[in-house]
Structure 1
Amino acid sequence: MFSIIKRVLIGQPLKSTALGEQKLNKTKALAILSSDALSSVAYGPEQILLVLMTIGAAAYWYSIPIAVGILVLLVALVLSYRQVIYAYPHGGGAYVVSKENLGVNSGLLAGGALLVDYILTVAVSISAGTDAITSAFPSLHSYNVLIACILVAVITVLNLRGITESASILAYPVYLFVLVIFITIGAGLYQIAVGEVPADLHSPIGTPVAGLTLFLLLRAFASGSSALTGVEAISNAIPNFKDPAPKNASRTLAAMGVLLALLFTGIVWLAYYYGISPKAEETVVSQIASATFGRGFMYYTIQGITAMILVLAANTGYSAFPLLAVNLAKDKYIARMFTVRGDRLGYSNGIVFLAVASILLIIVFKGQTEHLIPLYAVGVFIPFTLAQTGMLVKWCREKPSGWGLKLTINAVGAVISFTVMMIFFITKFTQVWPALIFLPAIVYVFHKINRHYEAVGDQLRITTCEPPLAIKGNVMVIPVAGITHVVENTLNYAKSLSPDQIIAVYVAFDKEAEKQFEEKWNQWHPEIRLVTLFSQYRSIIQPLTKFIDTVEHKAKEMNFRVTVLIPQFIPKKRWHNALHNQSSLLIRAFLLYRRDLIVTTVPYHFKK
């Protein structure tokens, strides 16, 4: 049944030779890898206004110079990451750049921050998309968390079907979003130009505002910079592009930068001119669409497509997280399971892990976007800063042709990214302080995992391992629970191996049962030694392991190896397992971690 459901949802397996067909062209890559950045125009401007509204509506005109500052940062990041793409054409982005130029710990800090950021990308995008849906249909507001979890499941299934298939499906909503936002901006600007929008809805630019501080302006700038999250995703996902991958990735990044700049500027300007104030029950984009077109067909079209793009923005995380996880796994800093491709040639373990982590975040934060965005933004500006600083070190060390200009671009990017990161920590410390705990913790875990893999490799290599002692004989210990076909099957198997000795072990809970079993055994298999153990506390494991310790001690003196053969019956239907004690599994689980002991399960399959 599970296999049938899996094939219906995910599709038939693809051959490994079809990997080349799973590469993205620029059109699809722009939609898939830029959806996070482009969708942020639906909540980035709102984050600026949420800070300014604490002073009053008169302060809203400051959103214009703040937006200009954010555009300067966007240009610096786009130019900087274009250089990362060409310098590191195999992908990896900030993790690879930082590790190679600033050291392992810097690389792990960047990698860990990005892994967390991509999880937050999914959680924030889905939560924001849910907010857009409930803005149009307020009666659904109490179901925010449930709707968000369902949407995560849908996006996960689409990504498990493969890169190109998900790109083909998800590209249309992204371009539809760009189109309807451009239409909204164009219609709004036209209404402003012909005088249909009253000028008294907003305070003029330059209006003095009492109580406004530099701290508050910096906080608004930092909040608005959340619109730039996702800019780095293209540099991480270069392997997903068709050849020439670096050139295609660079052009896609430039196209994303231009679109993001136009959409962000347009929304900020309309929000200012219309005098829009953030509301808990309605987004800024919803208010702009309502003011421009009224609550008619166009309004609901915009809301529907905005909700769709916010949900699909999560796909940036699904595209970048698995590839970053692969790089970390290849370097032995996270589990190797992340390097395994699934039936549809995607890194399915990374996709599923991302989905589960995102759902947990949505549940914990109750789908409230504003509580997730600060952590989301600070998580990406740390890698921004490390990547640009790493590129500075690279140019200074290598001094390639034209390195002066490259150095300048990355220096500007590093300074601005560091400044924004510090603004986040200073102005939003109460919201982002967990990053100071979980990021060092993640780096520590990375090192622990790496040490484990190094230790495993050292113990597996024949040249470094101690030569094993010669085994002169074998003693078979068979725990038995009764005189059955299951036990008989195990005894026959043990005899076929011609061991030096076979010992059957029976644990009795009362003396009478112990005596009766010994009599029956001597009539059934008198040639096989039986040891009965009395357990006054009704425990099987304790007396059994104590006996095995005794056998092992004597066996080692003669260079003999002890093998425990565990009889186990296998029901015809899996659900029947729940009806049995499964004591064989308990014994096996307990004995597997004992040194120099071989544990083998001998199955006996039922026919009905």
Structure 2
Amino acid sequence: MAKVTDLVKRVLVGRALRSGQLHEQLLPKRIALPIFASDALSSVAYAPQEILVILSLAGVSFYSYSPWVAIAVVVVMLTVVASYRQNVHAYPSGGGDYEVATTNLGKNAGLTVASALMVDYVLTVAVSVANGVDYVGATIPFVGEHKPAVAIVIVILLTVVNLRGLRESGAAFAVPTYAFMLAVLGLIAWGGFRLLVLGDDLRAPSAGFTIDAEQANLTSFAAAFLILRAFSSGCAALTGVEAISNGVPAFRKPKSKNAATTLLMMGLVSITMFGGIIALGLASGVKVAEPSVVAHDLHLPDGSPVGPGYYQQPIIAQVADAVFGGGSLPFVIISAVTALILFLAANTAFNGFPVLGSILAQDRYLPRQLHTRGDRLAFSNGIVILALGACLLLWGFNADVSRLLNLYIVGVFVSFTLSQIGMVIHWTRHLKTETDPRIRHQMHRSRVINFFGGIMTGLVLVVVLLTKFLVGAWIVCFAMPVLFLMMKAIRRHYDNVAVELEITEEFDESMLPSRNHAIVLVSKIHKPTMRALAYARATRPSTLEAITVGVEGAEARHLQDEWERLGIPVPLKMLDSPYREITQPILDYVKTLRRRSPRDVVTVFIPEYVVGHWWEHLLHNQSALRLKARLLFKPGVMVTSVPWQLHSADRLKGRPEPLAPGASRRAGPQVVKKDIKAKDEIKASDHSL
């Protein structure tokens, strides 16, 4: 069983890597870009559409506000990219927003950022995969009918790829990410050329459609609120920007410079794609409505509703249809790589979450296992936890993108805002001690950038909370404090344990117990019992006795008679058990010994079978396991397992151990009777003493 499990693990994850090979997993910029930028780049597939969908609630006339909303999103994006370039230079250790907030604003601010990012990473995986499943489900009915199951399978596949290590996952994701970038940039370039140079008239499939306003005759306040809501939805394009600041240690040297360059490249490409798609969408007359009302609010050119059987194409597909023609090879390629990039966008979270979890575990805010690297030098435990969280969300929300999007981007803008405020404090603190005019000038410039970034992201956060709180963002606002309190509790536990385990003078004086009372548990006289007795004698305890529980009278008397007949030089004590209970009489007896001599220790030796099959565990050692579980809570009691390997365990041992000198002589010939073999083993232990 173990060999089969190991074989499956090696096939899926790959050959284990030595710790010294960590440098081989570091990423050049060409691989780091698709790994860390896939989330930000993929937002082009839905962020422009979300702006138009929200504005469509007030009718097609409100589309005129979309260029201004898009410009506002682009300004925020430029500001955040410029701000985070300062972050990666100032804090290259990989702590990102968490480290910035902790260092400059205190531990509570750092934990707030950490909880926000953890929630956002899980949502990134869920939203990206659900969106990709929606895209594929429109053309493959089976996928559309089983969305949650298909989405969970895709998360599992992404998990396996990421467990193979950063470098391998980057190589796997680089080709589709670059293909998406080239396809969308090519779409924008050719569409712009046709519009501006050739003067062609681009028409999207929905260009002649009309939309019934869900919210007609809006007041000025309601109209402003709707525009702000569209802006907050468009700001989904900023998700993933923070991932590079958390992943700086994964870059090749010079780490900070390479990370900052990758961040700039990602920002420029994302802004170009975002602006180009929404501009071509407006130029070609794209019409998109809220998915829940599209059947009756979106009308065909003849004025009739599109009906429940209508599939609303995503904005990229409609623009590709207008530029290249529906069904053409470029159209098919763009549709395919868009669906693929939506799945791969989750990879950004698969690289950011484990690193953040590792840092939090190192600071004792999360279980220490999250700081341990797996076979392929990835933080495997963090990857698995992220996958489990995303699968739970996909199952709980039925892989519904519109419901999941309402939970999105709250966490990331909390981290953006606190990080930028922290960076302002960082530069202010360093300006007090810096005397070099050139460096002071750079610090002043960086502080201005971060200050402006903090103002912008803070305003966006307020807008997001106001416009999305009642439609789902309250769940994130509830989850973040829960995570915050959980991490505080974990840290408090670790601190309490450290204090409790600290060596004190009182402990030094009482470290050596007065005496050691040894007890060997006996159920019957056989080889495991003989080995346990021999080993207990070899430890030279102050006192040694064998203990058995007399459940069946005849069986107990037979055991005592056999013990005396074999002449075993260890006294056997029979504990009475009128209610046929085995564990409690032993616990009571140990408690009596401890009460009699509190400064002594009691060592309990328990013979156990070592088996080779999983089902054999159900047939053996159950009483021993229950007894050990109870004894471990008794102060001053040591529990020692004495293993006896059954033949079924031979297949797990590998190369057999050579016999010790004289072992064959002590064991005697195979034809020796059981009672003589038992005496020989006891005599051998006497001789060794």
TM-score range normalised by the length of the shorter chain:
over 0.9
SS at match of 1:533: strand
> What code does the residue aligned with 2:575 have?
L
CA distance in 2, matches of 1:270, 1:24: 35
Question: In structure 2, what is the equivalent of residue 274 of structure 1?
Answer: 285
- Offset at 1:133? 1.5
Instruction: Select the residue among 56, 59, 76 that pairs with 1:56.
Output: 59
Question: In structure 2, what is the equivalent of residue 372 of structure 1?
Answer: 404
- Offset at 1:520? 4.0
CA distance in 2, matches of 1:338, 1:140: 34
1:210 matched to 2:237? The reply is: no
Question: In structure 1, what is the equivalent of residue 35 of structure 2?
Answer: 32
1:505 matched to 2:551? The reply is: no
> What code does the residue aligned with 1:439 have?
M
1:286 matched to 2:327? The reply is: no
- Offset at 1:29? 0.9
SS at match of 1:379: helix
Deviation string 1:184-232 (CA, Å, 9 cap, x unpaired) is 33344455541242896489xxxx9732521111111111111111111
Question: In structure 1, what is the equivalent of residue 343 of structure 2?
Answer: 311
- Offset at 1:354? 1.7
Q: Cα–Cα, structure 1 residues 433 and 518, in superposed 2: closer, same or farther, change >3 Å?
A: same
Indicate if the aligned counterparts of 1:57 and 1:275 stay in contact, CA closer than 8 A. Answer: no
**Residues 183-198 of structure 1 mapped to structure 2, 5 A cutoff:** 183-190=186-193, 192=195, 193-197=199-203
Which consecutive residues of structure 2, in runs of 5 or more, have no partner in the other structure? 293-310, 435-439, 649-689
1:486 matched to 2:528? The reply is: yes
Instruction: Select the residue among 448, 452, 476 that pairs with 1:435.
Output: 476
> Which of the pair has more CA radius of gyration?
2
SS at match of 1:345: coil
Question: In structure 1, what is the equivalent of residue 460 of structure 2?
Answer: 420
- Offset at 1:357? 2.0
Question: In structure 2, what is the equivalent of residue 182 of structure 1?
Answer: 185
CA distance in 2, matches of 1:541, 1:574: 24
1:3 matched to 2:13? The reply is: no
- Offset at 1:250? 0.8
Deviation string 1:512-555 (CA, Å, 9 cap, x unpaired) is 54444444444446543333334455443333222221122123
> What code does the residue aligned with 1:210 have?
N
CA distance in 2, matches of 1:529, 1:116: 62
> What code does the residue aligned with 1:301 have?
I
Question: In structure 2, what is the equivalent of residue 560 of structure 1?
Answer: 600
Of 272-281 and 417-426, deviating more is 272-281
1:447 matched to 2:488? The reply is: yes
SS at match of 2:597: helix
Question: In structure 1, what is the equivalent of residue 372 of structure 2?
Answer: 340
SS at match of 1:481: coil
Which consecutive residues of structure 1, in runs of 5 or more, have no partner in the other structure? none
Q: Cα–Cα, structure 1 residues 496 and 410, in superposed 2: closer, same or farther, change >3 Å?
A: same
1:546 matched to 2:578? The reply is: no
1:88 matched to 2:91? The reply is: yes
Q: Cα–Cα, structure 1 residues 232 and 508, in superposed 2: closer, same or farther, change >3 Å?
A: same
Q: Cα–Cα, structure 1 residues 596 and 303, in superposed 2: closer, same or farther, change >3 Å?
A: farther
Deviation string 1:322-350 (CA, Å, 9 cap, x unpaired) is 22122212222112222222222222222
CA distance in 2, matches of 1:116, 1:597: 44
**Residues 67-466 of structure 1 mapped to structure 2, 5 A cutoff:** 67-190=70-193, 192=195, 193-197=199-203, 201=208, 210-211=217-218, 213-272=223-282, 273-278=284-289, 279=291, 282=312, 283-292=314-323, 293-399=325-431, 401-402=440-441, 403-430=443-470, 431-462=472-503, 466=507
Of 127-136 and 409-418, deviating more is 127-136
CA distance in 1, matches of 2:245, 2:495: 29
Of 496-505 and 170-179, deviating more is 496-505
Q: Cα–Cα, structure 1 residues 344 and 200, in superposed 2: closer, same or farther, change >3 Å?
A: closer
Identity %: 37
TM-score using structure 1 length: 0.93
Indicate if the aligned counterparts of 2:545 and 2:572 stay in contact, CA closer than 8 A. Answer: yes
- Offset at 1:391? 0.9
Question: In structure 1, what is the equivalent of residue 298 of structure 2?
Answer: none
SS at match of 2:138: helix
**Residues 581-600 of structure 1 mapped to structure 2, 5 A cutoff:** 582-600=622-640
> What code does the residue aligned with 1:195 have?
D
Question: In structure 1, what is the equivalent of residue 660 of structure 2?
Answer: none
Indicate if the aligned counterparts of 1:161 and 1:344 stay in contact, CA closer than 8 A. Answer: yes
CA distance in 2, matches of 1:585, 1:322: 35
Q: Cα–Cα, structure 1 residues 458 and 511, in superposed 2: closer, same or farther, change >3 Å?
A: same
SS at match of 2:376: coil
SS at match of 2:103: helix
CA distance in 1, matches of 2:405, 2:560: 70
- Offset at 1:395? 2.0
Indicate if the aligned counterparts of 1:334 and 1:449 stay in contact, CA closer than 8 A. Answer: yes
CA distance in 2, matches of 1:458, 1:515: 51
CA distance in 2, matches of 1:506, 1:299: 80
CA distance in 2, matches of 1:534, 1:220: 78
Of 462-471 and 540-549, deviating more is 462-471
> What code does the residue aligned with 1:595 have?
P
SS at match of 1:562: strand
Indicate if the aligned counterparts of 2:321 and 2:331 stay in contact, CA closer than 8 A. Answer: yes
Of 68-77 and 285-294, deviating more is 285-294
CA distance in 2, matches of 1:523, 1:113: 72
> What code does the residue aligned with 1:318 have?
F
CA distance in 1, matches of 2:564, 2:280: 93
- Offset at 1:603? 0.9
- Offset at 1:114? 1.0
Indicate if the aligned counterparts of 1:235 and 1:249 stay in contact, CA closer than 8 A. Answer: yes
CA distance in 2, matches of 1:538, 1:418: 69
CA distance in 1, matches of 2:53, 2:561: 84
CA distance in 2, matches of 1:28, 1:137: 31
Deviation string 1:20-75 (CA, Å, 9 cap, x unpaired) is 22111111111110101001111212222332232223323322211111001001
Of 10-19 and 414-423, deviating more is 10-19
Q: Cα–Cα, structure 1 residues 421 and 448, in superposed 2: closer, same or farther, change >3 Å?
A: same
Give the superposed CA RMSD.
2.5
> What code does the residue aligned with 1:197 have?
R
> What code does the residue aligned with 2:596 have?
K
- Offset at 1:462? 3.8
> What code does the residue aligned with 2:607 have?
P
CA distance in 1, matches of 2:531, 2:383: 43
CA distance in 1, matches of 2:64, 2:578: 82
Q: Cα–Cα, structure 1 residues 124 and 570, in superposed 2: closer, same or farther, change >3 Å?
A: same
- Would you identify which runs of 4 or more consecutive aligned residues in structure 1 move more than 6 Å? none
Q: Cα–Cα, structure 1 residues 36 and 465, in superposed 2: closer, same or farther, change >3 Å?
A: farther
Deviation string 1:290-324 (CA, Å, 9 cap, x unpaired) is 44431344333222211211111111111111221
TM-score using structure 2 length: 0.82
